[in-house]
Amino acid sequence: MRRITKLRTPIHFDSWAAVGGYEERRGPLGEKFDFCDISDKFGQSTWEIAEAEMGRVALNTALSKSGMSHDRIELLVAGDLQNQCVASSTGLSSFGIPFLGVYGACSTCTESLMTLCSFIDSSEHMTIGAAVTTSHNSAAERQFRTPIEYGGQRAPTAQWTSTAAGAFILGRGEGEVQITEYMPGRIVDGSTSDGANMGGAMAFAAFDSLQAYFEESGEEIRNFDCIVTGDLGKVGSDILRELLAKSISGAERIHTDCGLLLYDFKKQDVHSGASGCGTSASVLACHFLPMLKEGKIRNILFMSTGALMSPSSLLQGENIYGIAPLIRIENMKGSE
């Protein structure tokens, strides 16, 4: 069974935008964000609607940077962490763009980009689409654990759900930065039911995807500048690097994780690092895509990692399953 799809037609990043909140602005990438609201409210009355507004702001910003109107977008693929992706449908409904809501937990960013690429690549008529991913710390805490006002103690392995969004405009045709391949992930048992250790649970799915990719593609590690996961945090990244060192030698040396990049561990109390699907989306938009465009890096494997669980499944003692779809992103000018 072949899992890697090589795109038949060039698909490039036309523009992108990163939006965040208070903690994101304080982090080492804070100045690279297009916009941050230090109140985390984005002018709204609830955390849930604030997340919806954050997605709207991110898409508007990406559109503005591309110089195009929303009515040129032929398909919008978006997702978030709220039940039934209500943040995406609420925040993006006013655009009136044909819409696909996707849910892959923290893997949603890569899943959205992969889905959009598939549509553009297979369609005779579609030329431009958009992908948006959001997460909000306070909305996620209220849904998955306890409201932050409760003041519950977090375990050392726990991660901090980012208040962040990433929006991307993809277009058919040659461009400086292109997605050239994608590969869906498999559902992998994370071997734990501990909701405070999602990074550890997702690490096995990340390893499964990387092992499958290098076995099928025959690529060498030296062909890549970075292997980027999002968001394993400290615990999950340590597990993944240990697995890689034993089976895909050299991969552990170029691995980096969005959950380790978003916050300053010395100044911010984020325990094991960042989580939430807005983490990989915002770090891709504010950090990796600019570096690719500038030629500082030229070839990366980007893999958002998701923990597939619900409050009910955790209460019932079910194991957390992981998923890790993967895309290859290249600087085409640098590869000439």
Give me the tens of pLDDT residue by residue for the chain, a chain 336 residues long. Answer: 899 999 999 999 999 999 999 999 999 999 999 999 999 999 999 999 999 999 999 999 999 999 999 999 999 999 999 999 999 999 999 999 999 999 999 999 999 999 999 999 999 899 999 999 999 999 988 887 666 565 566 666 788 799 999 999 999 999 999 999 999 999 999 999 988 888 999 999 999 999 999 999 999 999 999 999 999 999 999 999 999 999 999 999 999 999 999 999 999 989 899 999 999 999 999 999 999 999 999 999 999 999 999 889 988 999 999 999 999 999 998 544
pLDDT given at position 147: 61
What separation in angstroms does the CA of 94 have from each of 56, 98, 274? 9, 11, 30
- CA–CA separation, 108 and 320 (whole Å): 17
Same fold, 5-172 and 177-331: yes
Using alpha carbons only, give the angle 51, 52, 57 rounded to the nearest 5 degrees.
Answer: 95
CB 236 within 8 A of CB 200: yes
CB 54 within 8 Å of CB 134: yes
pLDDT at 335: 45
Domain ranges of the chain: 5-172, 177-331
Say how many CA atoms lie within 13 Å of 81 toward its Cβ.
35
Q: Which residues contact 207 (CB under 8 A, 6 or more apart)?
A: 240, 243, 244, 247
Q: Would you say 281 and 164 are in contact if contact means Cβ atoms under 8 Å apart? A: yes
- What pLDDT sits at residue 157? 79
The Cα 88–Cα 79 span in angstroms is: 6
The residues with which 301 forms a beta bridge, in sequence order, are: 227, 328
Q: Which residues contact 46 (CB under 8 A, 6 or more apart)?
A: none
Q: Are 24 and 192 in contact (CB under 8 A)?
A: no
CA atoms within 13 A on the CB side of 9: 17
Spatial separation of the C-alpha atoms in residues 308 and 202, rounded to whole Å:
9
Reading the block at residue 48, the tokens are 């849930």
CA distances from 326 to 23, 182, 282 (A): 27, 6, 17
| Residues in Cβ contact with 185 at an 8 Å cutoff, skipping those fewer than 6 apart | 107, 205, 208, 209, 303, 323, 324, 325, 326
The Cα 122–Cα 117 span in angstroms is 8
Give the per-residue pLDDT at 71.
96
Domain 177-331 in CATH 3.40.47.40? The answer is: yes
The encoded tokens of residue 151 equal 């003041």
Q: How far apart are CA 47 and CA 91, in angstroms?
A: 13
Contact 129, 68 (CB under 8 A): no
Q: Is the peptide bond before 37 cis (omega within 30 degrees of 0)?
A: no
What type of residue sits at position 328? Answer: R
User: Measured between alpha carbons, how far is 292 from 302 in angstroms, rounded to an integer?
Assistant: 12
CATH topology of domain 5-172: Peroxisomal Thiolase; Chain A, domain 1 (3.40.47)
Closest alpha carbon to 129 in 157, 100, 94? 100
**Phi then psi dihedrals of residue 169, to 5 deg:** -105, 120
Interstrand relation of 299-304 and 164-172 (parallel, antiparallel or unpaired): unpaired
